[in-house]
Structure formats: C-alpha cells, structure tokens
Amino acid sequence: MSVSAPAILQRDQPEGVPPLPLTGERTLPDIPEENYWFRRHLAVYEWIARRVAGLSVIDMACGEGYGSDVLARCARSVVGVDANPEAHEHARLRYRRENVRFARDLIESFPEPADAVVFLQTIEHVQDAPTVLAHFRLLVGDGGVVFVSTPNVLTLAPKGAERSDNPWHIHEYRAQEFEDLCRGTFGTVEMYGLFHARKLHVHELALKLGWDAVHQRLRLTKPFYDRFTPAISARDFALRPAAECDLDRALDFIAACRP
C-alpha cells in the first residue's frame, strides 16, 4: 500500500490565518523550497505596481493574495479575485490594507470596471483565452490597461519536448503565439521578457560550465541548494522590452495590452 507524502504548507503564518498547501497549481510565499518561483512571480508584480500608481486595479486569479498586496502599495485600490474558497479566505484574513479587498468570483464573470487588470501566470490554465481577454477588455474600457504574463514553453519544457509536465496547464505559449493572442483583442500590445539576473545569472553560467556534475560529485547538491534557493530575491530577475532581448530565451512573457 502506497503512502502519500505529507503536504508542504506555508510556514509562520499570522495568528488566525490558515496556511495553504503547495499543490503546484499556484505559487506561494513562506515556503523555502518554493522561493524561486515565488520571487519569479513577485518580480513581475513589483514591476507592474510601479505602473499602476494611483489607479484602480483588479488582480485576477490572485491566489494567495501576495500580489494584490504588492499592487496595493502603489494603486489607489485593488480587488483580488479568485474562485478558490481556501485561497480567498486566506487572502482575506492575511492581507489587510484599507485599499485592498478580495472577492470570491470567476475571472470570466467578475463585473466591476477598473483602470487596470492584472492576470499573471494563469492564461496557460484557461480553456478559452480569447473570451477571457475580451472580458478584461470590457472591464478597462477605452483608456485602461491589461497586464498578462505566461511562461515561455521553450524554456519551461524539457529540451525537445512540446510542453512541460505541469498537469494544470492547458496550453503553453511561444512568444509570437502569445503576442498574436493578445493582439486579437487589443489594439496595442507591448511585449516584455523576464530573465535571470545577478546571482541567478551567475548560476545559469555555472550550469553551462558543468556545475551540475561538480555538486553531484562532491555531494554538495542538497547543502548548496538548501541555502541558495531561499536566498533568491525578486532582484535576481530582470524584465526587458522585446526590442532589447530575444524573447525566445525569456523565462516568462509579459504583455501590456491597451484597447
């Protein structure tokens, strides 16, 4: 009889806030093993936050709520929308700012207009992406902006594979395909790529020089990554406009879409 592994839960949550389990469907803060993915997402939220200062914002598929909290540092108001009851309750209890609230609703039907919609690392989970983007277009009207991000299948999937093994992803995109999707709904689409920077860039170079073989031979793998992964910060990622980078090499794509 097989025994399932115990759930990995968030650590050190505030009193009265139930920790969420790591399922692979969404990333979470406060889990050392998940820190790379959390910081990778956080870097994009922080980049967007500087661009929505003073605006009303909807954070669609907000999950645990950390992104809504980051946006609320600059935005006039933020609504974090998520249909999952556990995530909604966690976010509602944990992130308490006067200008942020959380709504349990579907992204396809949430009705409130806003100046900006943020939809990060979720469109790859969506069955009918054009319909979802069209709904966001209606919410922001003629003068708003929609920020959408998704992983690059060319760097996410194993070399030579058509897609990654993430069971939650319905469709994974290449750069041109993702841009074409956004342009099908919006008149103006600015594309950006997310890349490793600072110590993650150095680590990337070390891997090309054979670091994997070295740490395994010296039996340093676990001690090294037990320290390295929790030390990653949002500053170890950099966003670059499409004109200044090769999007096919990006980790994630970010599209700033305007009607």
Distance CA(218)–CA(230), nearest Å, equals 21
Classify residue 9: in a domain, yes or no: no
- Residue closest to 239 by CA, chosen among 46, 26, 27: 46
Residue 217 lies in a domain: no
Percent of the chain with pLDDT over 90: 90
State how far the Cα of 120 lies from the Cα of 122, in Å rounded to an integer.
6
Average pLDDT of the residues in 51-77: 98
**Total structural domains in the chain?**
1
Confidence of residue 4 (pLDDT cuts 50, 70, 90): low
Q: How many CB atoms lie within 10 A of CB 183?
A: 14
State the residue range of the domain holding 70. 32-195+238-258
In a domain, 222, yes or no: no
pLDDT, tens digit, for every residue of 124-181?
999 999 999 999 999 999 999 999 999 999 999 998 888 999 999 999 999 999 999 9
237: which strand partners? 196
Residues with Cβ within 8 Å of 128's Cβ and at least 6 positions away in sequence, in order, are none
pLDDT band at residue 214, thresholds of 50, 70 and 90? confident
Q: How confident is the model at residue 5 (pLDDT cuts 50, 70, 90)?
A: low
Q: Is residue 229 part of a domain?
A: no
The pLDDT of 185-210, averaged and rounded, is 96
User: How far is it, in rounded angstroms, from Cα 146 to Cα 71?
Assistant: 14
Write down the pLDDT at residue 1. Answer: 47
Residue type, 61: A
Average pLDDT over residues 216-235: 93
Q: Can you tell me the distance from the alpha carbon of 240 to that of 220, in angstroms, rounded to the nearest whole number?
A: 33
> How high is the mean pLDDT of the chain?
95
State the pLDDT confidence band at 24, using cuts at 50, 70 and 90: confident
In a domain, 5, yes or no: no
Give 89-135 pLDDT, tens digit per residue: 999 999 999 999 999 999 999 999 999 999 999 999 999 999 999 99
Note whether residue 6 is domain-resident.
no
In a domain, 66, yes or no: yes
38 within a domain of the structure (yes/no): yes
55, 115 Cβ separation under 8 angstroms: yes
- Judged against a pLDDT cut of 80, whether residue 3 lies above it is answered with no
CATH number, domain containing residue 81: 3.40.50.150
